[in-house]
Amino acid sequence: MGTWTPTAAGLVPAGLTQSAARGGIGESVRRPDGALKVTGAFAYSSDLWHRDMLWGRILRSPHAHARILAVDVSAALALPGVHAVLTHDDLPAAQKTYGLELADTPVLADGVVRHHGEPVALVAADHPETARRAAELIRVDYRELPVVTDEASATAPGAVVLHPDRDDRHAYRAPHPNVLHRQPIVRGDVAAAARRADVVVTGDYEFGMQDQAFLGPESGLAVPAADGGVDLYVATQWLHSDLRQIAPVLGLPEEKVRMTLAGVGGAFGGREDLSMQIHACLLALRTGRPVKIVYSREESFLGHAHRHPARLHYEHGATRDGRLTHVRCRIVLDGGAYASSTAAVVGNAASLGIGPYRVEDVEIEAIGLYTNNPPCGAMRGFGAVQACFAYEAQMDRLAAGLGMDPVELRRINAMRQGDLMPTGQRVDSPAPVAELLRRVRDMPLPPPLDTEDPDIRDLPGGLANTSHGEGIVRGIGYAVGIKNVGFSEGFDDYSTARVRLEVVDGEPVAMVHTAMAEVGQGGVTVHAQIARTELGVEQVTVHPADTQVGSAGSTSASRQTYMTGGAVKNTCGAVRERVFAAGRRRFGGDRPAWGGAGLRLDGGKVVTADGEVLATLAEVLEGEEPIDLELEFRHRPTEPFDPVTGQGFGHVQYSFAAHRAVVDVDVELGLVKVVELACAQDVGRALNPLSVVGQIQGGTVQGLGIALMEEIRVDPATARVLNPSFTDYLVPTVLDAPAVPVDLLELADPHAPYGLRGVGEAPTLSSTPAVLAAVRQATGKALTRVPVRPEHIVD
């Protein structure tokens, strides 16, 4: 273990059924698409092209809430080059809405728009510029309606109800129709526990609206097929979930909508909801021509769900010796105009709401609102991020109140294996919270700032030349977080993998076919590694992801290596048994060893437990049909949280990461330079250490982004988005990204394939509060809101 270095060879995996093949698990196998992406040769969904294709364009609402009095498309239709203009009235099927969890989102606005940028009409034309002009020629008469933008306005007496006829499964529990979902969690007796507290701290925190800010805009190509169906090539996170939502709106059976994953330019949750999929299909089916849609950058900012902004209230109590007595909290998440995945985000925020700490007495309430703000849904960290920012700020406040070292306070209360979550779920695999904190604390500190002769690129402000060392104060902060892995609350979260093994020209060759969306996480690399390890075969091809194979579930919730990786491992195991069966049929009569236990596939051969070679794969499979199996794989079941107490075995697995942030702050100008963000994370087992470190570094920087700069600004008066462009939605540049030394811990989770833990999200949690803690230390300011802007530091 120790600090990871890129050259380190993989460790020999523990508990393996198969020996390590070259390019197998544990090695830092390089991505197949890495060089293509770096050199600009990779084909993204926006590069798709088809002979005779048309360009689709979406007309969006300029208002956040308005009644549509009339739509006149005649001028647009009259424009030469325009092939179709569609509105809500043109939708072909009875089903006219869609949604990830609840089908509450209109494909095209039905008499009312509920957020800025909501799709109102579609155009297909022979040139993108023609399509743009045609969209401008569509006349829509709006009557603006009042907007609700926060808890107070959404639940005020007489507030407009955004979805008046709700009959969804959360509606009966919701305290107000503009509250989409509410999840309380109650454990122990908080009132009694609070009386034991020597120190109580409270805090109100605010978390801004972060965007996934992927670089590849929403795009895809729909091609009408001779059978009346459609072939859709699109960048998404879950092909089968898209399919389930698309087909009914088109009035087609699912088999007539064939989907293939196109090159994905980043996702981070922002492609879990549909974007242009249905729109392109509708236009293709209407015109009989292939239709391509590519969002502009502005449209991308308006056209996908963001991370929920949140307001959080916390109360923490502790005895003088630093033991937590109780935690109370209330988390209000703004889901915007449509449900997206708000209910699940509420479940996560509630169940992970107090962090990786042992507390007997807890009262948590999380709610998700319907407002006229932009819809919010999935983003890396999914509800756990907002809570972590607040509970870690509270832990620092509490430490200050107790006069205790903040890391020591965390260590005293750190959760361990066997402890209970506030939901009553026992954490039944390693939970090395204290160990991770110890590791980040013990990593060597970066050298102090050279204030005599600094390189200004190292200073806050950088080459903008704001300081030559004046006004700069260093701060150090710590944070740790807990994230669930996989889909929770009783969801049947399975993955499917098809594996084919055959002999081609005397060489054994395997093919792995799944519907997993490769969004940059490296699944395609890891799946091939797993197949090599499990089948002892070097030549492995990964089939393009499509819906001709069963669902792989979502590329989200840090789940794909666990779930689809697990599915590949599982199917490979079954394929292996077929190989042994074939070998027994052919050779078993002569060699009793074929009947023995512990046969393995290694280096293209069948090998006994003692290492004796029984036959080559070529000999066994010669003249046989290829072995071709498609199997589903499930993690252990979870259960919903009780609607009143929040108790329940809700999560599949937990993952933990800790950060130490070192920052330099120009306290006069309010500018921050993050010097270093050290991370320690338990990954269970690093199937590809290079990929794992990449995930941790990326997640860490995304956490820095929300700490210091990333925010979708929404005008509270009109609910319009003020900065839908990279000019004013700032993401960290290379000069903002600090060194991110990573310390990997590999404690196996006995329930998971290879003992692995999903890694993609946990580092996004603790990065933000660690940066905030460091900036607070440097400035002495309370800083209860992210992103921190210069004026918050200076005022």
Partner 1 sequence: MEFLRPGCWEEALAAKAEHPAAVPLAGGTDVMVEINLGHRRPGHLLDLGRIGELSEWEVGEREVRLGACVPYARIVGELGRELPALALASRAVASPQIRNRGGVGGNLGTASPAGDAHPALLAAGAEVEVESVRGARRIPIDEFYTGVKRNALRPDELIKRVHVVRATGPQQFSKVGTRNAMVIAVCSFGLALHPGSRTVRTGIGSAAPTPRRAAEAEAFLAGALAEAGLWESRRAVPPSVAKRFAALAAGACSPIDDVRGTAGHRRHAVGVMARRTFLWAWEAYRNGAEGAA
Binding site for partner 1 (CB under 8 A): 132, 296, 298, 460-468, 470-471, 668-671, 673, 708-709, 713, 722-723, 725, 727-728, 730, 732-736, 789-791, 794-795
Nearer CB in complex with partner 1: 565/787: 787
Nearer CB in complex with partner 1: 466/539: 466
The H or E element spanning position 101 is none
Neighbour count for residue 660 (Cβ, 10 Å): 26
CA–CA gap between residue 110 and residue 165 (Å, rounded)? 14
Task: Tell me how far CA of residue 499 lies from CA of 240, 394, 588, 615, 631, in angstroms.
Answer: 19, 49, 25, 21, 9
Shortest distance, position 669 Cβ to partner 1, whole Å:
6
CA–CA gap between residue 292 and residue 47 (Å, rounded)? 10
CA–CA gap between residue 754 and residue 566 (Å, rounded)? 9
Tokens 């109650």 sit at which residue? 186
Nearer CB in complex with partner 1: 7/465: 465
CA–CA gap between residue 217 and residue 736 (Å, rounded)? 23
Shortest distance, position 795 Cβ to partner 1, whole Å:
7
Closest to 656 in 3D by CA, of 744, 737, 741: 744
CA–CA gap between residue 335 and residue 114 (Å, rounded)? 12
Give φ, ψ of 614 to 5 degrees: -95, -40
Shortest distance, position 461 Cβ to partner 1, whole Å:
7
Shortest distance, position 478 Cβ to partner 1, whole Å:
23
Nearer CB in complex with partner 1: 346/459: 459
Nearer CB in complex with partner 1: 13/724: 724
Neighbour count for residue 44 (Cβ, 10 Å): 18
Nearer CB in complex with partner 1: 89/453: 453
Left (φ > 0), alpha (ψ -120 to 50) or beta: where does 447 sit? Answer: beta
Shortest distance, position 733 Cβ to partner 1, whole Å:
5
Shortest distance, position 48 Cβ to partner 1, whole Å:
20
Tokens 């390890």 sit at which residue? 533
Shortest distance, position 127 Cβ to partner 1, whole Å:
13
What single-letter DSSP state applies at residue 458? G
Closest to 179 in 3D by CA, of 370, 375, 313, 371: 370
CA–CA gap between residue 474 and residue 658 (Å, rounded)? 20
User: Which residues share a beta bridge with 712?
Assistant: 209
Nearer CB in complex with partner 1: 321/455: 455
CA–CA gap between residue 286 and residue 369 (Å, rounded)? 36
Nearer CB in complex with partner 1: 217/694: 217
Shortest distance, position 269 Cβ to partner 1, whole Å:
23
Neighbour count for residue 402 (Cβ, 10 Å): 19
Shortest distance, position 749 Cβ to partner 1, whole Å:
38
Nearer CB in complex with partner 1: 632/668: 668
Shortest distance, position 731 Cβ to partner 1, whole Å:
8
Laid out side by side, the sheet with 219-224 consists of: 82-86, 119-125, 54-60, 291-294, 219-224, 230-234, 257-261
Nearer CB in complex with partner 1: 437/671: 671
CA 192 to chain centre: 38
Residue type, 110: D
CA–CA gap between residue 168 and residue 162 (Å, rounded)? 14
Closest to 382 in 3D by CA, of 205, 206, 641, 557: 557
Residue type, 569: K
Nearer CB in complex with partner 1: 471/573: 471
Nearer CB in complex with partner 1: 293/359: 293
Nearer CB in complex with partner 1: 468/636: 468
Shortest distance, position 671 Cβ to partner 1, whole Å:
7
What single-letter DSSP state applies at residue 675? E
Give Cβ neighbours of residue 321 (< 8 Å, ≥ 6 apart).
412
Give φ, ψ of 247 to 5 degrees: -55, -45
Give me 714's structure tokens: 């929404």
CA–CA gap between residue 96 and residue 100 (Å, rounded)? 14
Nearer CB in complex with partner 1: 62/573: 62
Shortest distance, position 740 Cβ to partner 1, whole Å:
16
Give me 310's structure tokens: 């949140």
Shortest distance, position 433 Cβ to partner 1, whole Å:
32
Nearer CB in complex with partner 1: 181/673: 673
CA–CA gap between residue 518 and residue 264 (Å, rounded)? 7
Shortest distance, position 551 Cβ to partner 1, whole Å:
38
The beta-strand segments (E) located in 651-718 are 653-666, 671-682
Give me 326's structure tokens: 């109780």
Shortest distance, position 678 Cβ to partner 1, whole Å:
19
